A and B are shown apart, each in its own frame.
Chain A
Amino acid sequence: MKFKLLLIIFLAISATQSFAQNAAKAFSDVKNVTVRNVGIIKKNNIVKGYFTFYEYDKADKKNLVYKLNLVDENLNDLGTKEITGPKDWELVSSGFDGNNFCFKFYDDKKRTFELKVYNQDGVEVVSNPLKINYKPSSNSKYEMYQQMTNPELNIVESNGFVDYTFNDPNDAFIISYANGSTKNTWQQTYQPEGKSKVMLPTFLNGNDEVILTAVTRIEKGMYNTKTQHTVLASSAKTGAQLFDVSTEIDDNHVVPINAIFENGNIVVIGLNYKSTKTLTSPPDGMAFLIFDKNGKLVKSNFKTFEETLGKFLPMEDHKLKDGYYLYIHDIVRTRKNTNLVVAEKFKKAVDAGGVALSLFSSKAGPIKLQLENMVVMEYDLDGNLLQAKEIPKAKGSTGVFPSYTGFLTPYLLATVADIFGWMDYMYTVKSDDNGDITFSFVDYDRLDAGAKKTENFGQIKYHDGKITVDKIPVKNEKATFSRLMRASTNHVLQVNYFKKEKKLTMDMIKLNN
């Protein structure tokens, strides 16, 4: 039947005779396909396009033919590639480094992660397979690792891709690198002395010479919550460790968030804590560290929130007024050479429903977090706060925490809430030159005085010192359901499904700011 329909489509084309040559595509996707994966292709925080990965045909007994289709950020078709792979293949993540595309696949049968790099002709130029010694779906440590680390592929500034894979039973991680231009690949296991309870990598930056990774480590010990933070530098050419330097400086404990290569040095921007309990206590301020290329500390600068924020936000007894905390989501360097911080105000609250519920169930406790306004702060390179702006959003709350987490500190609860995706901040997007930086969030409020309360998408945009906000409802009123996906700094991609019409639409909505 489908085949006949296909014929009719083909024949309908030939019912017309035209005078001029029209551009015609030989085949469009008329097959009945099941979309298995849809995702975003990014170069760092810049959306470059979207991919769909779907089963197309049976290749042989063990393998399927998949189709990998790419569209650019404006949804223009970039091309389709047929790839033959195992039946249980999964496309985990993707990236674009300006020259090549990289896709990370997982083969459950062989328990192998593989980075496959394709050039823009769709030809595979290099691959980096990594066999793991555990089954991800049944490894609780892996699950925790997955929740605590960024699952996306990391893009090296000039060329190449970096990925971190959990390594069991050593509770460490393996760095995988693949560069389509030089065809260079390597894997390096990070395993410092001493046993660890938790070991989490965060990609900071990379270039032709060095890959920088922030490592968070908690040593073994049942009640140990003391964290250690280091900046690990690996050779981009071989993966060899160049240095692994602690960010504990006197009584300052710095959690690196971002790093920038500047005048041959490495500038690390992070949050500063006055205790080693960086997972459980709120940060005291910002830290700006400069290391030389050998990992030697050249300069450090620490600014407390108290001394900087007071001019812009209401403070009381060395804290934000009314017992609020700031949860820092991201720090980005702007084109003006300033550091932009996005945070969310929150405080611990008691959930009335939760109290009642906890009488009957041991699974939920009365604790939740009350989420309030977004806060954007701009610092100069010396750590002086240039501006701080509260972006109003409706008061909301996280889900109710399990009862066993009730004793945890508010900041740790916020960390957990962030991992669970309960906070309202969504993501950061930049333009190529960092001229535009946007932070997106969810807001449950009325857009107009007379309107109903709806789930809204909010975008804070920073452009040369100016901060503006725009909001749109997440759901298209006519659609059965809607989903928003990240897009370039001026847009958000709204995917709508219309059940009655059996129609799926993708609208690139232009935002006002």
Chain B
Amino acid sequence: MLKENLNYCNFYLLIFFIILSPATVYGQYEYKNSDSYNSFLQKNTVQNTLQLDKKIQKQYRAIIEEKNNELIDRLKAKDFLFDTVAYPYLTSIFNHVLLSNSLDRNRFHFFIDRTFDVNAYSFEDGTIVCNLGLLEGMENESQLAMVFCHEIGHYLLMHSNKSIISQLNKYNSHEFLAQIKQIKKQEYNTKKQLEDLLLTDVFDRSRHSRGQEKAADSLGMILFSNTKYGANTVPDIFDYLNSAEGLPNAITIQSFLDKEKIQIDDFSVDVPSKRMHFGTTEKKEIIDSLKTHPDCDKRKLQMQSFFGLHPKPGVDFMTGSKQDLEKIKKYALFEEAKYSKDKGNLGLYLYQLIQIDAMFPADKGAKSRIYNTLTSLYTHHKAHTFHEVVNAVYVPKNDKDQYAALLKLLDSLNLEKLKEITNTYYTNNNLFITITKN
């Protein structure tokens, strides 16, 4: 039976697990090659610095070293995932892109960021990062491969490095320094003038950045064309990016309360539509000018146009199957939630668990976690440390933002009511609950 199901893709995945994923020995959040990665970053920084004009070398190095340190700190803080499920799967897709384009694997490092944010990003040293949150909207491996191609495109076109060097050259130019000198000479409104100067610079860079995104898309499509993946569904990525909210929204907080028969007097979980504010909202043209990415609709049209002219047939799955991806997506949801817990954000953790429970009611693990989190919140409430584990400073994304609704609910509860809710939840679900300490 097992042999019948072991198709080529699964075999590839198995080989990958065995040969290419020794990181598992070190635990799922520890990077096996941490020391060599650190040396690589340092060496890379030295090499890149030496190629620059002497007058900007020091500043360049300071910026890159700060970034390197932050990356190493985040690795130490277990912000990245090196597990035996998602990591080998995504690395396999990533490596396929590299192999298909004859790119040297030693120049790249691939990480998975444990956050729920829908994004992927790259650094000037060849480190490419995919957030767990990106997986939720991905329909197949082809789409993931395209995202990786885009990020590799940034690296190959040296966008980060060029941007930094260009900015440093600008800030050290006679023209810019003369402008600063002129402002310093003034007696009045100097800060305003300095802000205006920098704002102009930010606009310039945003415009430049949008150009870089287009270029990374273009090169990404060429890189993608060399893979075995098909491009049919690839432009749909932008529909997902356009609508993605990051956090899952499978059940409203009111429905959760109704389901658990929890009644709260004098309280509505609805997020108020009219928020108090002060000051004019930024004009649309300014917001647009500050965008670092072109509109998703435009990017989708460009991609459709490219693959219309250069059709790219191929498979949508190679490393695994549709079912494998769905399993990994489910796993990613749990992992994102665990990351919230590891970061001490129990309010967010509870929200993610409620959503996971609604999405996978057959999975009883979520119920135990919800109960244990409620108990933990009660303990924090009693000790007056609730503010340390629930992020009250959160701006609702819209009127239907259910995370905001949960925060509003938690904020309104007194200790007694929180205890009552915890007990009600236990009574309703005690058959599935295993008590542990959060």
A and B co-occur in one complex: yes
Question: Is A78 positioned at the interface, with any CB of B under 8 Å from its CB?
Answer: yes
Asked if B382 lies at the interface with its beta carbon under 8 angstroms from chain A, I say yes
Q: Interface residue tally of chain B, by bracket?
A: 35 or more
Q: How far is the CB of B275 from chain A (nearest CB, A)?
A: 8
For residue B411, CB closer than 8 A to chain A, the reply is yes
Chain A neighbourhood of B277, CB < 8 A: 78-79, 120-121
> Does B199 count as interface, using CB distance less than 8 angstroms?
yes
Q: Which of A19, A24, A79 contacts B119 (CB 8 A)?
A: A19
State A510–B415 Cα separation when bound (angstroms): 10
Minimal Cβ-Cβ distance residue in A for B127: A16
State whether B384 touches A118 (Cβ < 8 A).
Answer: no
Beta-carbon contacts under 8 Å, A50-91 to B:
56-60, 65, 70, 72, 74-81
Q: Residue on B with the closest CB to A84?
A: B189
Asked whether, in the complex, the Cβ of A19 is within 8 Å of the Cβ of B189, the reply is no
- Asked if A509 meets B384 with Cβ closer than 8 Å, knowing A17-B122, A58-B189, A75-B392, the reply is yes
Q: How far is the CB of B67 from chain A (nearest CB, A)?
A: 5
A26-B199, A31-B191, A81-B279 known, 17 other contacts, Cβ within 8 Å: A8-B62, A12-B63, A14-B167, A14-B205, A15-B67, A15-B124, A16-B160, A17-B151, A19-B134, A19-B151, A27-B199, A75-B392, A78-B278, A121-B279, A122-B280, A461-B414, A512-B381
Is the C-beta of A435 less than 8 angstroms from some C-beta in chain B?
A: yes
Assess whether A74 is in contact with B119, with CB atoms less than 8 Å apart: no
Q: Are B292 and A78 in contact (CB under 8 A)?
A: no
* Shortest beta-carbon distance from B80 to chain A in Å: 15
Nearest CB of B to A2, in Å: 10
Which residues in B have their C-beta under 8 angstroms from that of A48? 276
Q: Which residues of B contact A511 (CB under 8 A)?
A: 384, 414
Interface contact A16-B384, CB-CB below 8 Å: no
The answer to whether B164 and A16 touch across the interface, beta carbons within 8 angstroms, is no
CB-based contact B121/A26 at 8 Å:
no
Residue from A21, A22, A120, A435 having most chain B Cβ neighbours under 10 A: A21
Q: Does B190 contact A (CB under 8 A)?
A: yes
CB closest chain-B residue, reference A511: B384
Complex: A8 Cα to B394 Cα, angstroms: 27
Asked whether A15 and B164 contact (CB < 8 A) given A57-B189, A65-B192, A74-B392, the answer is yes
Alpha-carbon gap, A48 to B272, bound state (A): 14
B154 touches A120 (CB 8 A): no
Question: Cβ of B290 and Cβ of A24 under 8 Å apart?
Answer: yes
- What is the bound-complex CA distance between A411 and B276, given in angstroms? 43
In the complex, are the beta carbons of A75 and B164 less than 8 A apart?
A: no
Give the complex CA separation of A281 and B54 in angstroms.
83
Q: A17-B122, A27-B199, A59-B189 are in contact. Are A11 and B278 (CB under 8 A)?
A: no
Q: Of residues A10, A123, A509, A510, which shows the largest number of chain B Cβ atoms within 10 Å of its Cβ?
A: A510
* Complex contact B387–A14 (CB within 8 A): no
A77 and B59 alpha carbons, distance in the complex (Å): 33
A513 at the interface (CB under 8 A from B): yes
Bound Cα distance from A472 to B384, whole angstroms: 7
- Residue contact B66 to A20, C-beta cutoff 8 Å: no
Whole-angstrom CA separation of A103 from B183 in the bound complex: 32
Does A508 lie at the interface of the complex (its beta carbon under 8 Å from any beta carbon of B)?
yes
In chain B, positions 395-438 with a C-beta closer than 8 Å to chain A are 395, 411-412, 414-415
Closest to B159 in A: A17
User: Nearest residue in A to B393 (C-beta to C-beta)?
Assistant: A75
A160 within 8 A of B: no
Sample 13 A-B pairs with CB under 8 A, ordered by A number: A3-B180, A14-B167, A17-B151, A17-B160, A20-B293, A21-B291, A24-B292, A27-B199, A78-B276, A80-B279, A435-B266, A507-B388, A512-B382
Say whether A11 contacts B164, CB under 8 Å. yes
Q: Which residues of A contact B414 (CB under 8 A)?
A: 461, 468, 490, 511-513
The residue on A at minimum CB distance from B166 is A14
Name the residue on A nearest B70 (C-beta): A12
- Chain A, residue nearest B68 (CB): A15
CB distance from A69 to the nearest CB of B (A): 8
Are B278 and A81 in contact, with the CB atoms below 8 A? yes
Contacts of B63 in A (CB 8 A): 8, 11-12, 15
Q: Which of B154, B191, B278, B382 is the most central at the interface, judged by chain A CB atoms within 10 Å of its CB?
A: B278
A residues less than 8 Å from B293 (CB atoms): 18, 20-21
Assess the B381–A18 pair: CB atoms within 8 A.
Answer: no
Q: Does A177 contact B (CB under 8 A)?
A: no
Q: Does A113 contact B (CB under 8 A)?
A: no
Q: How far is the CA of A479 from the CA of B192 in the complex (A)?
A: 35
Contact at B187–A19, with CB atoms within 8 Å? no
Prevailing SS type, chain A contact patch: mixed
**CB nearest neighbor in A for B205:** A14
Chain A residues lying within 8 Å of B415, measured Cβ to Cβ, are: 512-513
CB of A166 closer than 8 Å to a CB of B: no
B392 proximity list for chain A (CB < 8 A): 74-75, 508
Residues of B within 8 A of A17 (CB): 121-123, 151, 154, 159-160, 212, 216
B195 adjacent to A490 (CB under 8 Å):
no
Task: Provide the residues of chain A in CB contact with B118, threshold 8 Å.
Answer: 20
Interface centre among A76, A78, A80 (most CB of B within 10 A): A76
Instruction: Verify if B198 is at the interface (C-beta below 8 Å from A).
Output: yes
- Which residues of B are found within 8 Å of A60, using beta-carbon distances? 188
The smallest beta-carbon distance between B90 and chain A, in angstroms, is 14
- Whether the pair A59, B195 counts as a contact (CB closer than 8 A) is no
CA distance A120 to B415 in the complex (A): 35
Q: With the chains together, A18 CA to B293 CA distance in Å?
A: 9
Cross-chain contact A510 with B384 (CB below 8 angstroms): yes
A60 to B190, CA, bound (A): 11
Asked if A302 lies at the interface with its beta carbon under 8 angstroms from chain B, I say no
In the bound complex, what is the Cα–Cα distance between A7 and B120 (angstroms)?
25
User: Nearest-CB distance from A55 to chain B (Å)?
Assistant: 10
Q: Is A49 an interface residue (CB 8 A)?
A: yes
CB distance from A83 to the nearest CB of B (A): 11
User: Closest chain B residue to A99 by CB distance?
Assistant: B276
The winner among A22, A59, A472 for most chain B CB atoms within 10 A is A22
Cβ of A298 < 8 Å from any Cβ of B? no
Q: Which of B346-388 contact A (CB under 8 A)?
A: 381-382, 384, 386-388
Q: Is A101 an interface residue (CB 8 A)?
A: yes
- Of chain A, the residue at the smallest CB distance from B168 is A11
**When the two chains form their complex, are residues B278 and A70 in contact, meaning their CB atoms are under 8 A apart?**
yes
Q: Does B194 contact A (CB under 8 A)?
A: yes
B306: CB under 8 A from chain A? no
Q: Does A96 contact B (CB under 8 A)?
A: yes
**Contacting pair B147 A510 (CB below 8 A):** no
A507 and B121 within 8 A (CB): no
- B142 → chain A closest CB, angstroms: 15
In the complex, what distance in Å separates the CA atom of A122 from the CA atom of B392? 25
Pick the most buried of A6, A78, A96: most chain B CB atoms within 10 A of its CB.
Answer: A78
CB distance from A58 to the nearest CB of B (A): 5
Please state if B278 and A120 are interface contacts (CB–CB under 8 Å). Answer: yes
Q: Shortest beta-carbon distance, A36 to chain B, in Å?
A: 16
Q: Which residues of A contact B188 (CB under 8 A)?
A: 57-60
A26-B290, A27-B199, A512-B381 known; A101 vs B278 contact (CB < 8 Å): yes
Question: Per a CB cutoff under 8 Å, which of B134, B205, B292, B395 touches A22?
Answer: B292
- With CB as the reference atom, state the residue of chain A lying closest to B274: A120
CA distance A48 to B278 in the complex (A): 12
